[in-house]
Amino acid sequence: MELLDVLTELARSGTLGPVANGATLDTVAQALGEPFEVVIGKRRSWPRLFAYGDLEINVCSCKKIILVCLQTWRDVVDLPAGLLGRETFPGQPKYADVTEGLDRAGLLWQPCEPLTFGTQRSIQVPSSSVNFTFEIPEGEDPLLNIVSIPPCPHDCPASSQIQATP
């Protein structure tokens, strides 16, 4: 399996194995092991960012995943071994390769105008709302920077009780 296969399946289903918006952190951790928590600053408030290599998940205080991003801007993309049976893939796929892969899979895609500006181009697969954002280095082909599943709004029972821990 190659990274383009992973990206195509993500675009088709809006999920990456057990990782999906609305899934619980416990469910994902059971399948993939404990993620690394990314602590920003001194306070640990909700929502929190967790990572499995280059696969990042934002988690609400109710422990539901509310945003999924796959960083592809590095030379090597690192994913949890339990997810695909392989941990690393060459990163930075080119725009033409990604769009050709989506076309071959029969997935319709369209430009995402709100996220296309300056040296950035973005496309979206309407059926899953998965977004592909590319960086355009000067004089080069656009390179895939990040793939994201749009945020998952939900009725959070803990939203009125969001807490920060020291």
Helix and strand counts by DSSP (H, E) for the chain: 4, 12
Per DSSP bridges, beta strands 164-165 and 44-45 are antiparallel
C-alpha 103/C-alpha 81 separation (Å) is: 28
- Whether the predicted pLDDT of 165 surpasses 70: no
Q: Is 54 contained in some domain?
A: yes
Domain-embedded: residue 160: no
Q: Could you tell me if residue 161 is inside a domain? A: no
Across 18-27, 78-87, 93-102, 127-136, least confident range: 78-87
Q: Given a cut of 90, is residue 128 above it in pLDDT?
A: yes
Calculate the alpha carbon distances from 94 to 17, 61, 62, 132, 134 in Å: 24, 36, 37, 11, 8
Q: How many residues does the chain have?
A: 166
Residue with tokens 């990572």: 51
**Is 163 a member of any domain?**
no
24, part of any domain: yes
Going by pLDDT thresholds of 50, 70 and 90, the confidence category of residue 158 is: low
Identify the pLDDT of residue 155: 75
In a domain, 166, yes or no: no
Q: Domain limits at 109?
A: 3-154
Least confident segment among 27-41, 62-76, 117-131? 27-41
- Return the DSSP state at 164: E
Could you tell me if 73 and 91 are in contact, meaning their C-beta atoms sit under 8 angstroms apart? yes
DSSP string for residues in 93-128: -BHHHHHHHHHHTT---EE-GGG-BTTEEEEEETTT
Tokens 């769009």 correspond to 99
Q: Is 47 domain-assigned?
A: yes
Per the structure, the count of domains in the chain is: 1
In a domain, 162, yes or no: no
